[in-house]
Amino acid sequence: MTKTASDLSVLAVMALEWMPDGPAPRVALSQDEAGQLAERIGHDLALLVPEVANLDLVVMGAHFDPAEVLRPGWPVHRRLHELSERAPGRNAGPRIIGFGADASGDIPQPLRSEPSLQGGMLRVLPLLLAGDGAAHVGAQLESVLVDRGMARAETALLAQESFAARIEHARYLTVHDLAAMTALQYEHMGLAPLWSLIETALLAPGESAWLDAPPEPLIHLVKGEARVALFSDDAWRERYAPEENDVERLARRRGFFEARVRQLAAVLEAHGIPVTFVDCPGAHDARQACMD
Burial of 56 (0-12, 13-18, 19+ CB in 10 A): buried
pLDDT at res. 284:
66
Per-residue model confidence as pLDDT tens for the chain (292 residues): 444 433 479 999 999 999 988 788 888 999 999 999 999 999 999 999 999 999 999 999 999 999 999 999 999 999 999 988 888 767 777 999 999 987 776 777 777 888 899 888 999 999 999 998 899 999 999 999 989 999 999 999 999 999 999 999 999 999 999 999 999 999 999 999 999 999 999 999 989 999 999 999 999 999 999 999 998 888 899 899 988 888 899 999 999 999 999 999 999 999 999 999 998 877 666 677 665 5
To the nearest 10°, report the CA torsion of 209, 213, 215, 217. Answer: 10
Q: Which of 84, 99, 87 is nearest to 6 (CA)?
A: 84
The separation between CA 50 and the C-alpha centre of its own chain, rounded to angstroms, equals 27
Beta bridge pairs of residue 8 = 3
pLDDT at res. 209:
94
- pTM of this prediction? 0.91
pLDDT at res. 1:
40
Question: CA geometry: angle at 136 spanning 169 and 89, to 5°?
Answer: 80
Q: Domains in the chain, please, with CATH?
A: 2-182 (no CATH), 190-291 (3.30.750)
